[in-house]
Amino acid sequence: MERVLIDRLSGDFPTAEPPFPYLVGCFRRAVEENRKIASMKDPTLRSEIESAIRQAKKLVVSYCRIHLGNPDMFSAGKSAVPEFLDMIFSDVASTMDGSNSLGSGVSSPPGFVDEFFREGDLESLEPVMNELYEKLRASVERVSALGNFHQPMRALQLLVSYPNCAKALVSHSNWIPKETFFFMGDGRVIELRSILGAFFHVSALPDYKDFRSIPDVGQQCFLESSTRRPADLLSSFTTIRTVMNILYDNLAEVIFTLLKNVDTRVKVLNYIAAVIMKNSARSRIQVDPLSCASTGMFVNLSAVMLRLCEPFLDATASKRDKIDANYLFLSDRLDFRQLTAIHASSEDMSAWVENLKKLDQQKDLNLKWAMQTNDATTSGNHNENCASSRKKEMKSITGKDKYPFICECFFMTARVLNLGLMKALSDFKNIIQELARFEEDLSTFNAMRSQGPTPQLENDIRRLEKAVEMLSQEKFCYEAQILRDGELLQRALSYYRLVIIWLVSLVGGFNMPLPLECPMEFACLPEHFIEDAMDMLICTSRIPRALDGFLLDDFLNFIIMFMASPSYLKNPYLRAKMVEVLNCWLPQRSGTSATASLFDGNQLSLDYLVRNLLKLYVDIEFTGSHTQFFDKFTIRHNIAELLEYLWNVASHRNAWRKIAKEEEKGVYLNFLNFLINDSIYLLDESLNKILELKEIEAEMSNSIEWERRPAQEREERMRQFHSRENIVRFDMKLANEDVGMLAFTSEQIPSPFLLPEMVERVASMLNYFLLQLVGPQRKSLSVKDPEKYEFRPKQLLKQIVEIYVHIARGDKGNVFPAAVSKDGRSYNAQLFTAAADILWKIGGDANIIKEFIELGNKAKAAASEAMDAEAAPGEIPDEFLDPIQYTLMKDPVILPSSKISIDRAVIQRHLLSDNTDPFNRSHLTQDMLIPNVELKARIEDFIRRQGLRK
């Protein structure tokens, strides 16, 4: 048979079938002959014929391998691999492939493909597989989620199920491509040129124009989405989610198959590591699409890595002990050392890692020595077997495989998610913000069109409409593949739950307070481990039902432990992000009462949540960033909303009272000071901006003058108007929150407001607010739609008066009226009368109004007494005057650095906001103040002699 076969394949037969279809035909005829003899009665004859058929089939398949691997041998150099791939495509075809089905439609004979791959050795298969895998890669190149990637994917799954084919895949020259392109970076090359990269590129997400896939998902599914029926959009979302999950499952199956094979496992891990390392630049704010792989590839890889993690994402995190933090610093496969650490400086981290390496090397040497010693004490065949076993063990302990798969998979997933899924969510957020800006500009331009169109204006409108359409399509593509995929988000949440449980295990578990010193093992970990977990919580908390059934207690405990711990998390913005998570869980925002039990029934929450929120409110004043002044308002807004909710929970309100009593001279006083600072600034800014809005409104209302202005000037003024509207709305909202917090806390905790270093500041703030709300300028603050800007002057006035009254009720020493009257900038006795009159008209609380009037009378009397004291004879010596306020000192203290004496209340008020000596900027804290006993005695003697009141 073999001689006949060789003659047929080598002969010159112009009209005969080419070698490959001929060989396949031979196999098909052999199968058919085998079927014919199935009913033969003579078993001996049937057995002989079956043996001959088996031999023929084996021979045919063997020569088929030779022919495909060496096309020059029988067919003048023409490769038949494309025909073989078409036949495989036909074998794996399905009805879901539709009209785009690949392949010739002619399936292989039963058993042919299996015998071709299963019986072949790696040497004979490798030449065939090299070309086959390259053709397979090309078949999915630039194919989107709506294209036919299914047949190539099934073909790949089929191929890697054969061990030698799997080996051939990881040995392929394009497993990890080494070729370079002058216009493409390594990250993009590994996506476009590696065999698996082409499959990972299949996506619904938009890509850079030069690498865009077809069919275009945005164009096909979301064109002119604003006019589409909701049912059509929902159908598109469902289709894309379904298709992408098929891809994820198939890719995961391919990777699982390769990982289970001991001959391919290491190279698979090397491939994933190479994808990560070559695309590390994806973590930057701006990503170069020519240098880095697409977002689509990394979202797909994220979904696959989460599937690989699934076996150890159990509810009890039972496998966390297999996660070794040393992998981050000692692994040869990935480099985590260039990433921003949670707390350690780069210098401290380098020194610690070097020491860790030395200890690790010594450990390996000790282990090697121990094994060699054991080898020397054993003998015989048993000795040889043990030595061989120990060599393998030694290699696994000291080489790349010294860490278990769970450990490698855990840390690789962290990096993939950071560069993939989390980066995609960040991109989606940017798309939403950019789309909102364009839509606002388009709305402004359309408003201007009604006042007289111009060619330039029409061009601008067309440009904006095109941009809005493009961004809308991109937004829906992201939403379809990521935000609508509840399973993907839940898997990510489960993974990050394991991350935070593991992180906490490094500092002793879920216990408070934290150890005084942050362990270096924790301090050197990448910051993005925590940041990504928080971003995932924020994202899922804003998607309806995304958190349904998911237990959040571990996340809550983690946040409470670390949000007010700068000695563990040095980045204040990361700690602020934790507050943003909690803010999303407020029942009124989450849309479910299930999150209420998080705050009400969690013991760490009851013991530490209010305390840590107050502490963070103070700490966030100094973030170290050049934008800290503006950032703090957004962060404090989130804290204020949380605190307001907690105040209405009895257990948390009791904790708040306890903290205020224990920390009256500490963090609570700092909290009140910054709360007052913010209130003054925000209300002042809001009122000034309202005046600017009124000015622009007046300009626009004069239509004749307004239309005479150039279009560019009108556009600029409209932009200013919208910008100021947004600022007023934001500042006014924050000011309302701050004043509201002062109102409800002063009612039950008035004593801190009456401390010497605080009382005059509080009085000045209230007087200033009263002047703005009922003084001569109040009518200038009227705007067309005050609610639009969250400007509620009646409510504000009621709250300001309530604060006055609450503090007066707690004023056992009768110091508040004098502090109110001492304010020379805003105090006016007539304001109290005017405010009371307005309150009667708008229906204020009668008891509050009466007490407010009584306070006004007391302040008026205190002002009269102060004037009498100023008229008393005798000048006050300069040395008795406070150098900042120029008032008579009551309790002078010496500043240790500048040696200047200053009144204690004055310097304490300064230190609430700034821990420096006001005269030379050197560091200063309250415990460093030195009482000036001698000066105090002389002042008291002066007061007695002059008959002045203290």
- Give tens-digit pLDDT for 544-555: 888 888 889 999
Tell me which residue has tokens 């003024």.
717
Q: What residues are paired with 923 via a beta bridge?
A: 916
The pLDDT, as a whole number, for residue 393 is 44
Question: What pLDDT, on a 0 to 100 scale, did the predictor assign at position 947?
Answer: 65
Kindly state whether residues 717 and 732 are assigned to the same domain: yes
Give the CA distances from residue 89 to residues 101, 156, 277, in Å, rounded to whole numbers and listed in that order. 8, 10, 34
The Cα 659–Cα 612 span in angstroms is: 10
Both structure tokens of 417: 């998610």
CA distances, 887 to each of 372, 720, 870, 892 (Å): 85, 44, 11, 12
CATH number for the domain spanning 890: value is 3.30.40.10
DSSP state of 893: E
What distance in Å separates the CA atoms of residue 848 and residue 427, rounded to the nearest whole number? 52
**Mind listing the pLDDT tens digit for each residue in 125-145?**
999 999 999 999 999 999 999
For 484, the 3-state DSSP assignment is coil
> Which of the listed residues 821, 846, 871 is the one where a domain comes to its end?
871
Asked if residues 317 and 495 have their Cβ atoms less than 8 Å apart, the reply is no
Looking at the structure, tell me whether residues 777 and 800 fall in a common domain. yes
Q: Is the pLDDT of residue 590 over 70?
A: no
Q: What is the phi/psi pair of residue 892, to 5°?
A: -70, 140
Residue entry with tokens 């004496």: 901
Residue 637 in any domain: the answer is no
Q: Which of 806, 838, 871 is where one domain is finished?
A: 871
Do 855 and 889 lie in a common domain? no
Mean pLDDT of the chain: 87
Choose from 195-209, 544-558, 625-639, 851-865 the range with maximum mean pLDDT: 195-209
β-strand partners of 184: 181
Q: In what order do the strands lie in the sheet with 930-931?
A: 901-903, 892-894, 930-931
- Residue 222 in contact with residue 233, Cβ under 8 Å? yes
Measuring CA to CA, which residue among 843, 684, 683, 696 is closest to residue 784?
A: 696
The structure's pTM equals: 0.87
Tokens encoding 604: 């760490």
Specify the 3-state DSSP secondary structure of 888: strand
Give the separation between CA 183 and CA 199, rounded to whole angstroms: 22
DSSP secondary structure letter of residue 214:
B
Helix, coil or strand: residue 233: helix
**pLDDT at position 883 over 50:** yes
Question: Does some domain include residue 573?
Answer: no
If pLDDT is split at 50, 70 and 90, which confidence band does 490 have?
Answer: very high
* Residue 319 belongs to some domain of the structure: no
Contact predicate 591/544, CB 8 Å: yes
Length of the chain equals 950
Q: Do residue 855 and residue 916 come from a single domain?
A: no
- Residue 361 inside a domain? The answer is no
Q: How far apart are CA 6 and CA 817, in angstroms?
A: 115
Measured CA to CA, the distance from residue 86 to residue 68 in angstroms comes to 14
Lowest mean pLDDT among 43-47, 623-627, 708-712, 820-824: 623-627
Report how many domains make up the chain: 4
The answer to whether the beta carbons of residues 718 and 448 sit under 8 Å apart is: yes
395: helix, coil or strand? Answer: helix
Start-to-end C-alpha separation, the chain? 124
| Alpha-carbon 11 to chain mean position | 67
359 token code pair? 């200890």
Q: Are residues 711 and 756 in the same domain?
A: yes
pLDDT of residue 873 exceeding 50: no
State whether 700 and 820 are in the same domain. Answer: yes
Q: b/e per residue, 151-167, with b = 16+ CB within 10 A?
A: bbbbbbebbbbbbbbbb
Contact 734, 640 (CB under 8 A): yes
- Hunting for tokens 């507050």 — which residue is that? 579
**Domain identity same for 769 and 815:** yes
345-396 per-position pLDDT tens digit: 989 988 998 888 888 777 766 666 666 666 555 544 555 554 444 444 444 4
DSSP H or E run through 298? helix 295-309
In whole angstroms, what is the distance from residue 196 CA to residue 159 CA?
13
- Give me the residue label for tokens 């007023």: 728
What is the three-class DSSP state of 645? helix
When pLDDT is cut at 50, 70 and 90, the band that residue 567 belongs to is very high
Q: 442 lies in a domain?
A: yes
Q: How much is the pLDDT for 457?
A: 78
What letter does residue 106 receive in the DSSP assignment? -
Same domain, yes or no: 859 and 883: no
d(CA 680, CA 377): 82
Q: Averaged over 396-419, what is the pLDDT? A: 83
DSSP state letters, 535-569: HHHHHHHTSTTTTTT---HHHHHHHHHHTT-TTT-
Q: What is the 3-state secondary structure (H, E, C) of 593-660?
A: HHHHHHHHHCHHHHHHHHHHHHHHHHHCCCCCCCCHHHHHHHHHHHHHHHHHHHHCCHHHHHHHHHHH
CB atoms within 10 A of CB 110: 13
Given a cut of 80, whether residue 851 has pLDDT beyond it is yes
Give the span between the Cα atoms of 264 and 196, in whole angstroms. Answer: 14
Which of 828, 845, 871 finishes a domain?
871
Same domain, 299 and 233: yes
Half-sphere exposure of 306 (CA within 13 A, CB side): 24
- Say if CB 304 and CB 255 are below 8 A apart: yes
| Rounded CA separation 336/325 (Å) | 11
- Residue 868: the pLDDT is 60
pLDDT single digits (tens) 315-334:
888 888 999 999 999 888 99
CB 210 within 8 A of CB 470: no
Q: How many helices, marked H, and strands, marked E, lie in the chain? A: 41, 3
Let me know if residue 537 belongs to a domain: no
Q: Is residue 771 part of a domain?
A: yes
Whether residue 883 sits in one domain with residue 853 = no
- pLDDT number for residue 371: 60
Contact 461, 442 (CB under 8 A): yes
Nearest to 265 by CA among 394, 377, 405: 405
Judge residue 650's burial from the number of C-beta atoms within 10 Å of its C-beta, 0-12 exposed, 13-18 middle, 19 or more buried.
Answer: exposed
> Would you say residue 693 lies in a domain?
yes
Domain containing 56: what range? Answer: 1-142+164-170
* Residue 848 sits in the same domain as residue 906: no
Residue 397: pLDDT band (50, 70, 90) is very low
Q: Over the Cα atoms of the chain, what is R_g?
A: 38
- Same domain, yes or no: 891 and 841: no
What would the two tokens of residue 642 be?
């949380």
